[in-house]
Amino acid sequence: MAVETTAAVLRSFSAPQTIESIDVRDPGLGEVRVRIVAAGVCHSDVGQADGEWPHTLPVVLGHEGSGIVEAVGPGVRGVHTGQRVLLSLAPGCGVCPHCADGRPILCQDSLEAMGDGALTTGPTPISQNGAPVATYALLGCFAGSAVVAARSAIPLPDGIPPDVAAIVGCAVITGFGAAAETIAIEAGSRGAVIGCGGVGQSAIQGARLRGAAEVIALDPSEARRGDAERLGATSSGDPTDEQFTGELRDRAARAGLDWTIVTVGSPVAMRLGVDILRPRGTAVMVGLTPAESPTGIDMLDLVTYERRIVGSAYGSRNPLVLMPRILELYRRGLLQLDGLLGERFPLDGINEAFVASRSASGGRPVLELAGDGRTWPT
């Protein structure tokens, strides 16, 4: 039996989302239904709404969410009704070689379902007047309730506010994991993070926790550069300052950086991330460029200096393992996440939240779907 709830629905690319009533089916085998409490607005949601990548429409966006389990389907173990959870967009199928290797983000069944606007465990759980509505990123968090694979529901320990839990679901695991897992930054190394929003600030903290001696924060926003330095960056600069970036490029061959992490989907930023490396340095690409948007790399330098370019998806580690570690670091005061949060909006302020995200100047916008987003409803 389906339940009726309210959601933000995207019906056309580059058009406002509309607040509509939808039906969410009961959870099936290996699924749970979650009452969404808080949801972060990621730039990937914005890019999808702007049509940077193809997707089935209409769709309910949102892939950073936290909430309370409302119902549990058959065959579910380890998650129960009333439990507080954060949502992971990498449940995996659980049986393929990638899942067995602890990399469910690479699960091809999940990626295929994601592209279809469905779940790994079944068809999209969302409908309206009997017609299917696509689910974004296996979650569809911009709604009062969401049915997800049980493996997407990560139980939360005490002391984790819902808004913090929500952004751990993408921004934090992606940035922190790029530094701590994808390249496992070495103690005493030197590097730069290009793009210092929520993902970049998480990467900076991950790099410092790994023991990096120097972390340069590169972002056009002076406010974000200041935030980055407060979170552990040793210096900062404006990547649009051609004199500054020219100096980084000029000294790269002899005194370049050991690593860079590029969190923005900008071909210019990605090229910079490679150009300022030392010989045999590694550039980690996290940001997503629009579909069919080429990035020019100087292949002569890449080959001559044996530089490396590495993709990093969702922290490069099973979220069932990495997310609890991140939450424990937060609880112990070793990872600062509250400062990553930005302006708050109700669900019917979804389009204003997207405007705030596009400005790329403040913290991560948060939708409050139940209560104030900082405390758990009873």
Tens digits of residue pLDDT in 248-276: 999 999 999 999 999 999 999 999 999 99
For residues 339-353, average pLDDT: 96
Residue ranges in 332-372 assigned as alpha helix (H):
350-359
Distance CA 30, CA 325 (A): 25
CB 50 within 8 A of CB 351: no
Asked if pLDDT for residue 233 goes beyond 90, the answer is: yes
Asked if pLDDT for residue 67 goes beyond 80, the answer is: yes
For residues 97-111, average pLDDT: 95
CB 227 within 8 A of CB 201: yes
Distance CA 321, CA 164 (A): 18
Report pLDDT for 212. 98
Domain residue extents for the chain: 3-170+316-368, 184-311
How does strand 277-285 pair with strand 257-262? parallel
The pLDDT-based confidence of 372 (bands split at 50, 70, 90) is confident
- One-letter identity of residue 2: A
Q: What is the DSSP letter of 284?
A: E
Fold of 184-311: Rossmann fold (3.40.50)
CA 2 vs. chain centroid, Å, equals 29
Burial of 145 (0-12, 13-18, 19+ CB in 10 A): buried
Closest CA to 58 of 120, 15, 92, 27: 15
Report pLDDT for 54. 94
Q: Examine residue 290 and say whether the peptide bond preceding it is cis (omega within 30 degrees of 0).
A: no
Mean pLDDT of the chain, nearest integer: 96
Taking only the tens place, the pLDDT of each residue in 148-162 is 999 999 999 999 999
Report pLDDT for 310. 97
Asked if pLDDT for residue 1 goes beyond 80, the answer is: no
Q: Supply 314's token pair.
A: 């969702």
CATH: 3.40.225.10, 3.30.1600.10, 3.40.440.10, 3.90.180.10. Which one for 3-170+316-368? 3.90.180.10
Query: What percentage of the chain reaches a pLDDT higher than 70?
Result: 100
CA angle 366, 92, 292 (to 5 degrees): 70
Q: What is the pTM of this model?
A: 0.95
Asked if pLDDT for residue 359 goes beyond 90, the answer is: no
For residues 362-374, average pLDDT: 91
For residues 124-146, average pLDDT: 97
Closest CA to 59 of 15, 3, 122: 15
Distance CA 31, CA 72 (A): 6
Residue ranges in the chain assigned as alpha helix (H):
43-49, 97-100, 108-116, 162-167, 173-177, 198-209, 222-230, 242-250, 252-255, 267-275, 299-304, 319-331, 350-359
Asked if pLDDT for residue 118 goes beyond 80, the answer is: yes
Lowest mean pLDDT among 31-35, 81-85, 298-302, 309-313: 298-302
Asked if pLDDT for residue 34 goes beyond 80, the answer is: yes
Report pLDDT for 335. 97
Taking only the tens place, the pLDDT of each residue in 183-217 is 999 999 999 999 999 999 999 999 999 999 999 99
For residues 284-295, average pLDDT: 89
Q: Supply 308's token pair.
A: 């490396």
